[in-house]
Each structure stands twice: as structure tokens, then as C-alpha cells.
């Protein structure tokens, strides 16, 4: 057995062992979290039970005395509830992954055809690069709940399609597959950049590699697919654990919350382990067949024009200026109500119309941008030093480029793997159900801390990705330090995504404080046909807001010479 073969076997065994450790530690952490449920939260649950239950039960103030195998509200078995929804959930995840892979291969084929057609003249080829960058960046940045509202809910209401219609299932499946497909396309372009250019569109070796590489990538995106499925099933009749989890968080039915969280952790860890093992085997046998590595100049090239890079950074600066100057730009107070003007169409007085309470949407959008950007900056500021230190430690240990160095890195990254075993939205909902949301002035303190905790391991993952695919010829420390601006751009975009998604589900920034995700939920969806601008303008604001931060990160990534496009996908773990 060669040294490379031995290292591959050791890597496979190490991944399996560490996956088992991650599951064990995650189980112990979940057990420990049971004791963190406060007496105030339990008293609130008691009051709600007395109001709703026909035969109110008194639950103990000590969570350890509860029967954690049954629902606190219905006394149904947790295993029964989870088991009933497990296979539909797994089937939905598998179908979404398959659709995503097929869509991504189709998009890449179309892109390859367009590239062949537009090779000349030069200006057309440059235009193609810019358009591809914009389309992919916006597609991977669009929050799934925005896409679900505009592409799924609105057609259902407009066409009057019932929840049991096959058309509903098709639209829901396509909606769930869209974001992972574009993430795969981004990954596919990164893989194609590492290979020598080919003049043929149908290159068997190229497409076999892309299919295998993207199959592994879609398995690693299991957390993103779980989260996307949660949003899509909320507006459909599809059964699954996502809707049950959201309902359980609303009622603080902790046995159900913990049971579903544990189930999702097991699914995510096992699927990611399968991806790691397949990747180790694939890379080992592929490297044996390859006679030589691609030249360095083939791996990375500066394709994004400088003017686009500068424009992206300028738009980031504009978003920060709007956040700071929102009180000066706004034409009305964010909670100023004029009931006689409720649901008014856009006019000279109300530039973007009013909502169901007669509040000016334009002013609320400005304050919503302010809330999202400020909370994200605070969250990133809390974790940045720890995340950078974590990344530097892992990079330093990785200098020993052998199985011992790999093992040390895995040990250092074990806490990250434990936290990332739970998809970010489920982790946030778990924390929110235990801690609740506290607000002081214009800052939602507990939400910021929870978003920081959720971002931390994912930002550390971005640091690790940057190190592995840094520009050649740099020291291990340079590899980490030059990635800092990229890290901040992606982390702020991730903070905006996390805050808006949590608020959309009703667990984030509390009303009447405006927040873009919160503005899109509730009344905006109820009045979607009567006053579509209530949902349209928050959507049209949130997508560009996240997109410009992601585009800036991607553009800077390429300008600096990094050989990866997988950093943003770390945020979706």
C-alpha cells in the first residue's frame, strides 16, 4: 500500500470516528440544554396551557422531572410524531437534492453553450462573464422565504390553486431546488476553472468529474436543503418535520423541539459523513489516474472586471450609509400610523404605499435596513476575534501536511463540527425557544448573541476554506490574514440572512420595530392580493441587500486569487 493510500484510509477512519464523537457530544449538549429552561419560561407555558387546554395540566418547574418522551401539550409520543414525519422528510430531501443536481448540470450545460457562442468578439465574452457573475450571485443570495413567498404563495392565491393540486407539489419542489442548484453551479464553475480549457462542449471526462463533484457537494449541502424545506412546507400541504418544529417552538413544546432537532442532527451528520467518505475515495482514485496537475495559471484568473468590483464595494458602502442615515432619510416615523390611509397605493405622500396599519412602507424599509445591518455588524464584531484566532490555530496546525496534522485540525475544529451538525435555522430556533428575545432600545440583545453563536462556527469554516484554497506562494499566516475582508463581507451577509429569516418566522426582532424579514411575514402575506406592495418592497429590498454583500465577497475572493467559490455555502450549513 502506497503512502497516499494509507493516508486515504486513515482519513476515512478519522472522519468516521469524529462523526461518532460529534453525535455523542451533540447528544450530551442537548441533554444539558434541558436544564437551562428558566422558571419564567415554564410559568408562561403554564399560563398558556390553562387558557387553551380543556383539562389543564401542571408541569413541574424542574425540566428534569418532565416526561421527555411525550409532548407536553398533547401527551403524544415524541418518537411517534417524529417517526410519522421522518420518511416524508427524507424523501423530500432526496428529491430536492436530485432536482438540484439535474438543474445545476442543465444550467452548466447551457452556460457552456453560451460561452462557446460568445467567445468572440471580446466585449461579448466580457459581458457574458459579468452577467454570469450577477445572475449566480443574486440567485445564491435570495433568501428562500422571499422566493417562496413570491414564487409559491402568490401564484397559489392568484390562480386559486388548492393545496392538494399536483401543480403545488411541482412548484414547491422547484422552489426548494433553486437555491441548492445555483450553489452547485457556483461550485461547478470553480471546478471548471481548475481544469485545462477544452474546445468541446460535450467532454466526457469533464462532465463525469462535474457530476461526481457536485453529487458530493449536494450531500454536504444537506443543512441548506433541510432549512429550505422548512420554509417551503410552511405554505404547502406537504408533511414533514419542519412545520412540526415551527409549531412546537411557537408553543414551547420542548420534548418535540429536542426530538426533531436531534433527528435533524443525525441526518445531517450521517449524510455529511457519506459525502466525506465518497470524496476521499473519489479524490484518491482520481489522483491515481491523473498524470499531471493543472498549471497554476489555469487555476485562478482575474475574470471579474475592476469596475464591477469597485461598484460592488460602493454599493456595500451605500447600504451602510442608508443604515446610519435612516432617521434622516425617512419621511415618516417607522411606527407612525394613519388609519385613514391604510393599504394606500404608492403616491407622492407615501412613496411605496402604506401597510395594513397605515404606516409608511418606505420609511419602514429604511429602518428595516438599519436594523438588519446594525444587528449583523454587532454579531460579527462579537465573534470576529475568536473566529480569526480559531482559524489561525487550525492553519498553524495544518502546516504539518500529513495525517497527524489532519487529525490535529479535526480536533481543533470539533466544536465547530458539533455546532454545524445542527443546521443554522434549527439551531437558532432551539436557542430562541429556550432563551427568548430581549430588546433594549433599538438593539435586540439576545437575538444578536444567538446569531453570533450560530455564525461563529460557520465563519471558522470560511477561514478553513480560505486557507485550503489560498493563492499559491503565500505563508500559512498570509493565507488567513488576506481572507479577513472576505470573511467580514460574507459574515455580515450571513447575519442579515439569519436575522431576517428568524424574524420572518416570528421569533426574531419583535414588532413594532421594522425588520425586512418580519415585514414580509404575517400581514404582508395575508394582504398579498389586496396590497401586493406590502410583500413586494421588502422582497425587492432584502434580495439586493444580501446580494451586494455576497457579490462583494465573491469579487474580492477572485481579485485576491483564491481558488474557491464555496465560502458562501458555509453560511448555509
Please state the rounded mean pLDDT for residues 63-76: 88
pLDDT at 302: 47
Is residue 444 in a domain?
A: yes
pLDDT above 90 as % of the chain = 29
In whole angstroms, what is the distance from residue 128 CA to residue 130 CA? 5
In whole angstroms, what is the distance from residue 410 CA to residue 167 CA? 45
Helix H or strand E encompassing 144:
helix 144-148
Partners of residue 439 on adjacent β-strands: 444
Angle between helices 424-435 and 254-289 (to 10 degrees): 160
Angle between helices 3-33 and 254-289 (to 10 degrees): 170
DSSP 49-66: HHHH-SS--PPPSSGGGS
Is residue 268 in a domain?
A: yes
| Residue 56 predicted with pLDDT over 60 | no
Angle between helices 445-468 and 361-397 (to 10 degrees): 50
pLDDT digits (tens, 9 = 90+) for 174-220: 778 888 999 999 888 888 877 766 656 667 788 888 899 999 999 99
pLDDT at 35: 87
pLDDT digits (tens, 9 = 90+) for 237-264: 666 788 888 888 888 899 999 999 999 9
Residue range of the domain that includes 438:
3-332+360-571
Q: How far is CA 129 from CA 113, 124, 303, 409, 547, in A?
A: 13, 9, 7, 37, 17
| Residue 222 predicted with pLDDT over 70 | yes
Please state the rounded mean pLDDT for residues 83-104: 88
User: Residue 315 in contact with residue 555, Cβ under 8 Å?
Assistant: no
Supply the mean pLDDT for the chain: 83
In whole angstroms, what is the distance from residue 270 CA to residue 30 CA? 18
In whole angstroms, what is the distance from residue 494 CA to residue 571 CA? 6
119-131 CB burial, b ≥16 within 10 A, e <16: eeeeeeeeebeee
Is residue 345 in a domain?
A: no
pLDDT at 161: 54
Is residue 319 in a domain?
A: yes
pLDDT digits (tens, 9 = 90+) for 115-138: 888 777 877 878 888 888 888 888
pLDDT above 70 as % of the chain = 87
Closest CA to 431 of 377, 495, 502: 502
pLDDT digits (tens, 9 = 90+) for 267-292: 999 999 999 999 988 888 876 555 44
pLDDT at 301: 42
Is residue 348 in a domain?
A: no
| Residue 36 predicted with pLDDT over 90 | no
Is residue 217 in a domain?
A: yes
Q: How far is CA 532 from CA 150, 163, 371, 446, in A?
A: 10, 21, 23, 32
Q: How confident is residue 160, by pLDDT bands cut at 50, 70 and 90? A: low
In whole angstroms, what is the distance from residue 241 CA to residue 256 CA? 10
Question: Using alpha carbons only, how large is the chain's radius of gyration in Å?
Answer: 24
Farthest CA pair distance, the chain? 81
Is residue 340 in a domain?
A: no
User: Residue 454 in contact with residue 428, Cβ under 8 Å?
Assistant: yes
Q: Is 458 helix (H, G, I), strand (E, B) or coil?
A: helix
| Residue 297 predicted with pLDDT over 50 | no
Please state the rounded mean pLDDT for residues 322-332: 92
Q: How confident is residue 298, by pLDDT bands cut at 50, 70 and 90? A: very low
Among all chains, which residue has been given the C-alpha cell 383539562?
55
Please state the rounded mean pLDDT for residues 350-377: 92
Least confident of 161-165, 283-287, 331-335, 531-535: 161-165
pLDDT digits (tens, 9 = 90+) for 410-424: 788 888 888 888 999
Is residue 349 in a domain?
A: no
Provide the domain count of the chain.
Answer: 1
pLDDT at 532: 84
Q: Specify the higher pLDDT residue, 456 or 199.
A: 456
In whole angstroms, what is the distance from residue 223 CA to residue 421 CA? 8
pLDDT at 300: 40
Q: Specify the higher pLDDT residue, 170 or 137.
A: 137
pLDDT at 154: 60
Q: Taking the CB of residue 107, how many other CB atoms lie within 10 A of it?
A: 18
Amino acid at each position: 500500500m502506497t503512502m497516499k493510500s494509507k493516508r486515504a484510509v486513515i482519513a476515512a477512519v478519522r472522519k468516521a470516528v469524529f462523526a461518532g464523537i460529534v453525535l455523542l457530544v451533540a447528544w450530551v449538549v442537548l441533554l444539558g440544554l434541558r436544564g437551562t429552561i428558566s422558571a419564567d419560561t415554564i410559568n408562561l407555558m403554564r399560563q398558556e396551557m390553562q387558557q387553551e387546554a380543556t383539562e389543564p395540566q401542571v408541569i413541574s418547574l424542574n425540566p428534569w422531572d418532565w416526561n421527555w418522551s411525550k409532548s407536553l401539550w398533547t401527551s403524544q409520543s415524541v418518537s411517534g410524531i417524529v417517526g410519522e414525519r421522518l420518511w416524508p422528510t427524507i424523501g423530500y430531501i432526496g428529491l430536492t437534492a436530485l432536482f438540484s443536481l439535474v438543474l445545476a448540470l442543465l444550467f452548466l450545460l447551457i452556460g457552456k453553450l453560451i460561452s462557446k457562442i460568445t467567445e468572440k468578439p471580446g466585449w461579448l465574452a466580457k459581458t457574458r462573464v459579468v452577467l454570469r457573475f450577477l445572475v449566480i450571485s443574486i440567485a445564491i443570495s435570495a433568501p428562500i422565504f422571499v422566493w417562496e413567498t413570491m414564487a409559491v404563495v402568490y401564484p397559489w392565491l392568484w390562480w386559486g390553486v388548492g393545496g392538494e393540486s399536483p401543480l403545488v407539489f411541482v412548484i414547491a419542489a422547484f422552489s426548494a431546488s433553486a437555491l441548492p442548484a445555483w450553489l452547485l453551479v457556483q461550485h461547478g464553475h470553480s471546478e471548471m476553472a481548475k481544469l485545462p480549457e477544452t474546445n468541446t462542449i460535450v467532454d466526457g471526462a469533464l462532465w463525469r468529474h462535474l457530476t461526481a463533484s457536485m453529487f458530493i457537494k449536494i450531500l454536504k449541502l444537506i443543512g441548506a436543503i433541510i432549512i429550505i424545506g422548512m420554509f417551503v412546507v410552511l405554505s404547502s400541504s406537504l408533511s414533514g418535520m419542519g412545520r412540526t418544529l415551527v409549531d412546537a417552538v411557537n408553543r414551547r413544546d420542548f420534548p418535540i423541539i429536542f426530538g426533531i432537532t436531534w433527528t435533524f442532527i443525525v441526518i445531517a451528520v450521517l449524510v455529511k459523513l457519506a459525502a466525506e467518505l465518497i470524496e476521499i475515495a473519489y479524490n484518491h482514485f482520481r489522483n491515481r489516474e491523473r498524470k499531471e496537475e493543472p498549471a497554476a495559471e489555469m487555476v485562478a484568473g482575474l475574470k471579474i472586471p475592476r469596475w464591477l468590483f469597485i461598484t460592488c464595494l460602493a454599493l456595500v458602502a451605500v447600504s451602510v450609509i442608508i443604515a446610519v442615515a435612516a432617521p434622516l432619510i425617512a419621511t415618516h416615523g417607522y411606527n407612525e400610523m394613519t388609519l385613514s390611509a391604510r393599504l394606500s397605493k404608492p403616491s407622492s405622500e407615501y412613496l411605496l404605499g402604506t401597510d395594513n396599519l397605515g404606516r409608511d412602507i418606505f420609511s419602514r424599509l429604511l429602518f428595516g435596513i438599519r436594523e438588519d445591518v446594525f444587528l449583523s455588524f454587532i454579531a460579527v464584531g462579537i465573534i470576529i476575534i475568536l473566529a480569526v484566532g480559531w482559524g489561525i490555530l487550525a492553519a498553524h496546525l495544518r502546516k504539518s501536511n500529513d495525517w497527524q496534522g489532519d487529525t490535529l485540525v479535526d480536533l481543533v475544529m470539533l466544536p465547530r463540527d458539533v455546532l454545524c451538525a445542527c443546521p443554522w435555522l434549527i439551531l437558532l430556533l432551539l436557542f430562541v425557544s429556550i432563551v427568548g428575545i430581549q430588546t433594549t432600545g433599538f438593539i435586540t440583545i439576545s437575538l444578536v448573541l444567538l446569531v453570533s453563536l450560530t455564525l461563529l462556527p460557520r465563519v471558522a469554516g470560511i477561514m478553513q476554506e480560505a486557507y485550503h484554497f489560498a493563492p499559491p506562494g503565500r505563508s500559512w499566516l498570509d493565507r488567513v490574514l488576506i481572507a479577513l475582508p472576505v470573511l467580514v463581507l460574507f459574515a455580515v451577509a450571513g447575519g442579515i440572512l439569519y436575522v431576517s429569516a428568524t424574524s420572518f418566522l416570528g421569533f426574531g426582532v419583535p414588532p413594532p420595530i421594522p425588520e425586512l424579514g418580519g415585514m414580509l411575514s404575517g400581514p404582508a402575506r395575508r394582504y398579498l392580493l389586496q396590497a401586493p406592495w406590502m410583500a413586494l418592497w421588502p422582497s425587492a429590498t432584502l434580495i439586493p441587500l444580501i446580494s451586494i454583500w455576497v457579490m462583494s465577497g465573491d469579487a474580492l475572493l477572485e481579485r485576491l486569487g483564491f481558488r474557491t467559490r464555496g465560502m458562501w455555502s458555509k453560511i448555509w450549513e
